[in-house]
Amino acid sequence: MLCERCGQRQATVHFTEITNESKQETHLCEVCAGEIKPQGFVFAPQLSLQNFLVSLLNQELGGGGYGIPADTVRKCESCGVAEGQFVKQGLLGCGSCYPNFEEKILPLLRRVHGSTRHTGKVPERTGGRARLVKELDKMRDQLKEAVSREEFERAAVLRDNIRQLEKSLEEGAES
């Protein structure tokens, strides 16, 4: 099928517009499709992680502009990425950027993941020990929470469970 606009090249972009039960199809080549935008249709860029982070950063900082006084602009000592550049692009330059921009990154992680601690996923068939370690960490967090709330009976049960898990981990390491 040839392009409906130029009539010279193969139509590779096909639009179907349905308005009030009326269907209209348009068949264009890539060149013509790039030159025009069918009524009401916009070629939207794909959502990327960078765009997502930038939108979250801008929202976190109260919308639009990210105004940092010139004398307080921080840069990563390793790669030279500036704080404003990170906020604008949503990209870090190296591993050293994480501690340098920690106060900007941690709220984002909490917002996106609900936590700032990576727990990862472990395959079921190989994750016996890793699953126990993860459970142990979870119980330790629960123990701290129980102690802070002065729920000492619950804390004692959690402490005993933690000791039991630690013992089973030690036994597993020895065998």
Domain boundaries, the chain: 1-44, 49-113, 128-174
Is residue 16 predicted with pLDDT exceeding 50?
Answer: yes
Radius of gyration, alpha carbons of the chain: 27
Between 122 and 128, the higher pLDDT residue: 128
Mean predicted lDDT score pLDDT of the chain: 78
Is residue 117 predicted with pLDDT exceeding 60?
Answer: yes
Place of tokens 């996106």: 112
Percent of the chain with pLDDT over 70: 73
Average pLDDT over residues 127-140: 83
pLDDT at 69: 47
pLDDT tens digit sequence for 51-104:
676 777 666 654 444 444 444 578 888 888 888 787 777 778 888 888 888 887
Query: CA-to-CA distance for 60 and 83, rounded, in angstroms?
Result: 15
Between 115 and 174, the higher pLDDT residue: 115
pLDDT at 105: 81
Label residue 113 by pLDDT band (50, 70, 90): confident
Residue 13: alpha-carbon gap to chain centroid: 32
Residue 28's φ and ψ, nearest 5 degrees, are -130, 155
Three-state SS for 168? helix
pLDDT at 124: 59
pLDDT at 61: 53
pLDDT at 71: 43
Is residue 40 predicted with pLDDT exceeding 70?
Answer: no
For residues 145-157, b (16+ Cβ closer than 10 Å) or e, as one string?
ebeeeeeeeebee
Residue 140 CB partners (closer than 8 Å, separation 6+): 162
Q: Is the pTM of this model over 0.95?
A: no
Is residue 36 predicted with pLDDT exceeding 60?
Answer: yes
pLDDT at 75: 86
